[in-house]
Amino acid sequence: MHHSTRHLPDFIDNSRIENALSDTGFSDDSVAIRDILAKADAKAGLSMEEAACLLKTQNPESVQAILETASRLKKSIYGNRLVLFAPLYVTNECCNRCLYCGFQDTNAQLERRTLTDEELREEVRILESQGQKRLLLVYGEHPTLGAEWMARTMRTVYETSSGDCGQIRRVNVNCAPLSVEGFRTLKAEGIGTYQCFQETYHRPTYAAMHLRGPKSDYLWRLYALHRAMEAGIDDVGIGPLFGLYNPDFEVLATLNHAAQLEKDCGVGPHTVSFPRLEPALGAHVASRPPHALSDSHFTRIVAVLRLALPYTGLILSTRESAELRTRLIEVGVSQISAASRTYPGGYADAEKATKRSCSCSNADSHSQNTPEQNHVHATGKPEAQQFATGDHRTLDEVVHDIVANHGYLPSWCTACYRAGRTGDHFMDLAKTGGIQKFCHPNSLLTFQEYLLDYATAQTREAGERLIAAELAGQPESRRLKLQAMLERIRNGERDLYI
């Protein structure tokens, strides 16, 4: 156990969570549910007890009202914007023994790999050539790979550019908990959001699932976000891994964690993620989750998280199918990954597979192919990846779908982070609605870049129609300013933002 955790209290209030989830005194009263939804609709958030009522109700009309309220609330805060990013696995070396993870230390079937600087640059160049601007760097936990090394990999990513327009503007990090000094090292290199998932907040389950390594220290992990904020990283991301324990318990514990961060650090989490267990080679628990979560209950959970944490970004990975992702975006998700590879070197492998399947001789011309030609996917390496993915579409296919079929505005905006609109400053703007004057215009500007530099002809056509429609709905002064900035982008300028 880390010496610094021995005196720390476990702030996850198990008894309060269990009481909220019990049926003692619970009346499935549609009037009470309506009152809770009215509070959520007013963007006031929800207590654990109120969220528990929404999770427990069996009334079909109440369930439908939960989903409809969440959808309405999401639209009122986020509009039709949808942020896109990609994960980049830098290493799968790990000294932890987590029974649900393909990277666990005893998995002799796993092909271990840590990217060299040049391999990392190649992964970044490939992602840039697709149009990505925001990356999430993912690391295993190993004593030889510490904060200084991670900071160097971040620096490599920021320094790597491709072509005239390829540039990563936001590097978020998902790594094992560090000391305050370690987090300061990442802060100095320009980290965006620091993301650390507790996996399960239920301590007996946590102990049963984490048998060895630094990750077996529950409290060291629980306070990781506190230490990150102490180091000056004011955007942090939390989340449970669904499938290990009662999912409703995990939802309420996540809300407990968010409230504690706000109480202790002045601002709650910037994002919440909610991955479900997916099969992974050498991880028997991942193939047979102890607490499997159905799609319908998962959808309700995402809606409840949106209602309880109205201003917090909700992140969805490619673990889920394209169809379910569309549904979850509707009820609350505001950020999605696309075309993800979940092992080190995965993007280079996919690139090679695509080139082998493509008759074109120009290594970069596949990005301008038809969607049918682009629908060439590497099968991945089951012996290398952390978990199986469910949405195998290319970035352009995802963009075309959300634009042409659902009217969402893709965003690669990083303006708030570089302009200092983070932490409590961001939340103050979000809660007053002031963030809208930045987010929507900047989304249009980054989308215009994508259409010009990376999109297929079909996606570009659908995107230009959407931009025209979005401009038509703007106040005249903002519309004129945006039109001028969009014209500058069409004339070759890049990275314009408000």
Neighbour tally for 106: CB within 10 Å:
11
Element at 212 (helix H, strand E): strand 210-212
Strand partners, 1: none
Closest residue by Cα to residue 351 from 372, 333, 366: 366
DSSP 3-state assignment of 135? strand
DSSP string, 102-170: TT-TT-TTS---B--HHHHHHHHHHHHHHT--EEEEE----TTS-HHHHHHHHHHHHH-EETTTEE--E
Both tokens of 186, joined, read: 């990442």
- C-alpha to C-alpha distance for 336 and 329, rounded to whole angstroms: 9
Query: pTM for the whole thing?
Result: 0.92
- C-alpha to C-alpha distance for 309 and 311, rounded to whole angstroms: 6
Neighbour tally for 387: CB within 10 Å:
23
Query: What pLDDT does 367 receive?
Result: 46
Instruction: Report residues of the chain scoring pLDDT below 70.
Output: 1-4, 357-387, 417, 421-437
pLDDT digits (tens, 9 = 90+) for 409-433: 999 998 776 777 666 666 665 666 6
**Residues of the chain with pLDDT > 90: what percent?**
79
pLDDT digits (tens, 9 = 90+) for 184-197: 999 999 999 999 99
Closest residue by Cα to residue 293 from 242, 239, 240: 242
Both tokens of 84, joined, read: 């896109």
Query: What pLDDT does 424 receive?
Result: 66
Asked if 417 contacts 192 with a C-beta cutoff of 8 angstroms, the reply is yes
pLDDT digits (tens, 9 = 90+) for 324-371: 999 999 999 999 999 999 999 999 998 888 777 665 545 454 444 433
HSE-CB of 62 using CA atoms within 13 angstroms: 19
Asked if 341 contacts 350 with a C-beta cutoff of 8 angstroms, the reply is yes
Closest residue by Cα to residue 444 from 405, 401, 473: 473
Contacts of 76 (CB under 8 A, 6+ apart): 43
